[in-house]
Structure 1
Amino acid sequence: MSNERLIYLPLGGAGEIGMNAYVYGYGKPDEERLILVDLGVAFPDMDSTPGVDLIFADMTWLKERRDRLEAIFVTHAHEDHLGAVSLCYEELRAPIYARAFTANLARRKMEERGQPQDAVREVEPWPETVTAGPFTVSFAPISHSIPESNGLVIDSPAGRVVHSGDFKIDPEPVVGEPFDPDLWSAIAKPGVRALICDSTNVFSTHAGRSESELGPALTKLVEQADGMVVATTFASNVARVKTLAEAGERAGRSIVLLGRAMRRMIEAAIETGVLTDFPRVIGPEEAQDIPRNHLMLIVTGSQGERRAASAQLSRGKYRGIELKEGDLFLFSSKTIPGNERDVIRIINQLSEKGVDVVDDSSGLYHVSGHANRPDLERMHQIVDPQMIVPMHGEHRHLREHVKLAEANGRTGIVAVNGMMLDLSGNAPKVAEYIETGRTYLDGSIQVGALDGVIRDRIRMALNGHVTITVILDEGDEPLGEPWCDTMGLAETGNSRAALVEVMEEDLNQFLMRADPKTLRDDDKLEEALRRIARQTAQTEIGKKPEVTVVISRMR
């Protein structure tokens, strides 16, 4: 009996929505040849990750096994699946396989970070295959909210696994390939050992709607608007951008695309032949000479991103264009949980300008790119897997997806990041647990979650900061009084005196009383000064700040 096994290990994307990274392996335990499916990012927020640019899965486990990594396969071009490819290439050094549209965007990312573009290899869809060690992998077209999305058909000596990728069941997605039940039935025919499946909308009990349903409502909205119309959506939703542009064109408006990501997506779609009949667009400079009621802007920033076009328009001018009273602003998107505060800020700023804001509360102007519960059930029926492993969801989504599978007589298991599953038997079982975490792109440097950088930044943000400077002479006696600089703290405390002056006085009193042994020992002196500064701040302003002590000795 063979002791080789088929493993599945999520490093990101299981127990959360974002930074997807899934490892498959086949071989003897601890000798498996490996492939990685997707390598995405998540986005920071000011509460938990202040100042961070991007977040992605910790690749330490995979980096330590780089000699066993055969390839990276990217299902589609959303940032939470593609965004970390160029960030991690130096560590992983494996070929990257993707279809044309995704490959185009991947090469742009590689070029921006000085990585070799030829590491990205363009592949054709099913039935074409890529051989990667013991695996044979095919890209199976599936509908989603970005062109050329794919599930992966992963064959190994242990049988066939289907990795759904992000998907919905849409027969008319406007741009990109429709869901083809015949293709998926053909994929299922030899038998599928496991379906690793998108769980995002498992709680949505109604059947999903097609992208093609939005055109009439959007056209009517734009036609009835009196002033300038601005619409924001996900830049990657090329079909939605096209539908919005066509609605504007039918209403007799000139179309302006604003935002680097929006232009890049449309360029990539045209370059790869995904998009062939996009309405004519004009630049923001040309728009200055066109009456406002003949203009429609399609802009980035549907999630409230501070530097995107939507936020900048809400604050003032952007590229010479300014919103005015009577204009219409449409959110043709769903607000991702966690972004509500930023989106509401923009809505209020637009309201202050007298702009009328329309969101998706009516359900007329947005459809999801993910399969709802009835569509998940249909996918289960078509693929007919021996076992179902939910992915791409928070823990509650994964757990509910398992309940759905079991209610229909199928075997399922909740596998979160770091839980390695053995898929070789008749039911999935936990093989081992791997330590996983997050890596932060902080400026131009990658920082580990345990490095303390972000923790210290949060502590400074919460508590403020004090720098204490002390000078000692050759005899280890204080040379003058200590002085303090504060940041992020109230200037005056409960005593009605300046906080800095009270703190300096307390520190000086301590130095005058300190014994020679303490004055000679930098560590003891630093600890004492830090304690006194924090105690004084607590008494004066009710805060215990972070403290940096600088001790200079005259030698």
Structure 2
Amino acid sequence: MNDRLIYLPLGGAGEVGMNAYVFGYGPKGKERLILVDIGVTFPDMDSSPGVDLIFPDISWLEANRDRLEAVFITHAHEDHVGALGHLYTRLGQPPVYARAFTGHLARLKMEEQGQDPARVSIAEPMPEMVEAGPFRVGFLPISHSIPESAGMVIDTPAGRVMHTADFKIDVTPVVGEAFDPAAWEAAAAPGVQALLCDSTNVFVERPGRSEASLASNLESLVAGAGGMVVATTFASNVARLKTLAEAGVRAGRSVCLMGRAMRRMLEAALETGVLEDFPPTVSPEDAAGVPRENLMLVVTGSQGERRAASAQLARGKYQGIELKAGDTFLFSSKTIPGNERGVLRIINQLSEIGVDVIDDATDRYHVSGHANRPDLERMHDIVKPKMVIPMHGEHRMLREHMKLAKSRGYASAIAPNGTMLDLTGDAPQVAEHVETSRIYLDGTAQIGALDGVVRDRIRMALNGHALVTLIIDEDGDPLGEPWCELSGLRESGRSRADLAEVIEGDLAQFMGRAGKKVLGDDDKLEDGLRRIVRNTAFNEIGKKPEVTVVISRLG
């Protein structure tokens, strides 16, 4: 048989975030394709300064977009749906399918980027199936830390594929659907060629805990706290927002929600019927007049985001409310790897004020939305696939999950971003490798990670910048001496003289030695001036700045 079933991750395999998974079926190089999820990850100042968002590199998919049948979104977390509006045109504007809550938020993201929200269709959960070329795709409800999450059941001529997406095994999730093992067993009953499975918590040996297990601990904490109580969690965790708000109300406190993302999620949950009721809240304006011992804030910024409510409260007043010594600040969340520095900055700022900070180290006020190792084993046993393909996780997580699957008798392989697997046979085989990188949203522009823009920005941040300007007259002779303007560099160095003046002196000497051949060749002149600036700066301050040379020729 010449047709094959392929799987190609473009994001989310080898990292946590930026999920984008391609499935294909058909003759080699002519497979019809579907895309499951199209998410973002978030930048940091060390590796991507000034960048707003990071998208998966979809160059391969863009080049093959005439073969793309549809996009399916498993749930409404940013790392699964956040890039939809930004990259939609590059995908060729295919139909998009999602469940009601996810689709509501996906349509908003499309609108924000000037795309037609009607391209997002609302799909009902199984047994309804969506036809997409050679695929029939169903949404199978699963529990996670956001309402209406779904695994994907993907029927192909080569067999059934089940894609868990992000999941946990939770039979009492507070908001949203409980995990239903019978439904998953029924979906797996015809036989499963491959199970694509979340790997995030593969190293956690204990079984996962239910969202409902937090209520009593949170209520005790809020009831026993003095001063004002502030709690932060993921804005998308609607169940946690409800549990926190209920704890505040039971403690006799007025509850105020702060943060646009949080309000947006609650509005979507209420509008789509995912959430039927929510404790009464007060506006930030009214909250400012409530005695602090009677007030509880639930705020955004659990991952240390600089512009979120948590960070602004830690720096001073936010919407008229100010933290004081004796208040309590709770992180009802887990710090995502890579965000530790931002979270610690907020914790230390709060500590300086005298606020008592409770983080996730106690494990009493947060439960993960991802399956732990015993829960992954249970999912394997429920589905009983021919092969297990780890996805959603750092490389070490994928590798450990592969080892776990093999130890339990399942064929398995890891496929980091850009690795195409052939899933047609009895075991996965690497079919080919696709060049993948990242796309940066920089302001309003999308730039490739290899375009050099961010690289140059990092170099300037590390070493500073020097601008050298030189004017050449009509006869090819220098009109005056070169001058230098410095940014991000100290004013003086070892000689204690003004650094710009020292550099200009050395540039003048170079120009005095330069012959007609050099003066007439912009490339040679630019190289010489750049070398002088970098060498002089290194001798004076130990830095070799980035140098821009502007040569203006009159006439």
Distance 1:187 1:323 in 2: 51
Match of 1:56 in 2: 55
Give 1:390's aligned amino acid.
P
Tell me how many residue pairs correspond in the alignment: 554
The DSSP-based 3-state class of the residue aligned with 1:219 is helix
AA of the residue aligned to 2:441: L
Cα deviation per residue 1:372-425 (whole Å; 9 max; x = unaligned)? 000000000000000000000111111110111111111111111111111111
Partner of 1:223: 223
Which whole-Å CA distance do the structure 2 matches of 1:72 and 1:402 have between them?
Answer: 27
- 1:514 partner amino acid: A
Per-residue CA deviation, residues 182-225 of structure 1 (Å, 9 max, x unaligned), is 00010110000000000000000000000000000000000011
| Structure-1 residue corresponding to 2:402 | 402
1:497 is aligned to 497
Look up the match of 1:450. 450
**Residue 274 of structure 2 aligns with which residue?**
274
Deviations 1:17-66, CA, capped at 9 Å, x for gaps: 11000000010111111000000001000000000000011111011111
The residue that corresponds to 2:90 in the other structure is: 91
Write out aligned runs for 1:15-34 (5 A): 15-34=14-33
Question: Secondary structure of 2:549's match?
Answer: strand
Is 1:538 paired with 2:538?
yes
SS of the equivalent of 1:10 reads strand
User: For residue 158 of structure 2, what is the amino acid of its counterpart?
Assistant: A
Q: Which amino acid aligns with 1:409?
A: G
Aligned 1:72-471 pairs, distance under 5 A? 72-92=71-91, 93-471=93-471
Cα distance in structure 1, aligned partners of 2:176 and 2:272: 12
CA distance in 1, matches of 2:13, 2:290: 49
Q: In structure 2, how many angstroms separate the alpha carbons of the residues matched to 1:133 and 1:443?
A: 37
Report the TM-score, using the length of structure 2 for normalisation. 0.99
Q: Distance in 2 between matches of 1:364 and 1:58?
A: 38
Cα distance in structure 1, aligned partners of 2:281 and 2:32: 48
Question: Partner of 2:416: helix, strand, or coil?
Answer: coil
Q: For residue 314 of structure 1, report the CA deviation from its aligned partner.
A: 0.1
Read off the aligned partner of 2:97 and give its amino acid letter. Y
> What do residues 221-254 of structure 1 show as CA deviations (whole Å, max 9, x unaligned)?
0001111100000001110111000000110111
1:305-355 Cα distance to aligned partner (Å, 9 max, x none): 000000000001111111111111000001111111111110111111111
Residue 450 of structure 1, CA deviation: 1.2
Report what 1:510 is aligned to: 510
| Alpha-carbon separation, structure 2, partners of 1:231 and 1:316 | 16
- For structure 2, the residue ranges without an aligned partner over 5 or more in a row are none
Runs of 4+ with deviation above 2 angstroms: none
Please name the residue that 1:548 is paired with: 548
Query: Could you tell me which amino acid in structure 2 is paired with residue 253 of structure 1?
Result: R
Q: Secondary structure at the match of 2:544?
A: coil
Cα distance in 1 between the residues matched to 2:226 and 2:522: 71
Per the TM alignment, residue 474 of structure 1 is displaced from its structure 2 partner at its CA by 1.1
Q: Distance in 1 between matches of 2:514 and 2:402?
A: 65
1:288 Cα shift? 1.8
- The CA deviation at 1:480 is 1.2
1:475 aligns with 2:475: yes
Q: Is residue 39 from structure 1 mapped to residue 41 from structure 2 by the alignment?
A: no
Q: CA deviation at 1:520?
A: 1.0
AA aligned to 2:95 is: P
SS in 1 for 2:414: coil
Quick one: distance in 1 between partners of 2:288 and 2:544? 53
How far apart are 1:449 and its partner, in Å?
1.1
Q: Give the equivalent residue in structure 2 for 1:6.
A: 5
Q: Using the alignment, how far apart are the partners of 1:460 and 1:254 within structure 2?
A: 48
1:69 CA displacement: 0.3
How far apart are 1:126 and its partner, in Å?
1.0
Q: Give the Å deviation of 1:84.
A: 0.4
Q: d(CA) in 1 for partners of 2:522 and 2:470? A: 11
Partner Cα distance (2:250, 2:464) in 1: 55
RMSD across aligned C-alpha pairs, in angstroms?
A: 0.6
Q: Distance in 2 between matches of 1:528 and 1:100?
A: 63
Separation (CA, whole Å) in 1 of partners of 2:420 and 2:363: 39
In structure 2, how many angstroms separate the alpha carbons of the residues matched to 1:375 and 1:44? Answer: 31
Separation in 2, partners of 1:550, 1:360: 53
Letter in structure 2 aligned against 1:244: L
SS at match of 1:421: strand
- What letter is aligned with 1:38? D
Give the Cα–Cα distance (whole angstroms) in 1 for the partners of residues 98 and 22 of structure 2.
Answer: 16
Aligned amino acid, residue 394 of structure 1: E
Structure 1: 5+ residue stretches without partners: none
Alpha-carbon separation, structure 1, partners of 2:162 and 2:278: 34
CA deviation profile, 1:280-313 (whole Å, cap 9, x unmatched)? 1111001122111111100000010000000000
Counterpart-to-counterpart distance in 2, 1:513 and 1:424: 70
Per-residue deviation at 1:363? Answer: 1.1
* Matching residue's letter, 1:82: V
d(CA) in 2 for partners of 1:394, 1:359? 24
Q: How far apart are the structure 2 equivalents of 1:363 and 1:4? A: 49
The one-letter amino acid of 1:211's match is E
1:77-115 CA distance string (max 9 Å, x none):
000000000011111111110000100111111111111
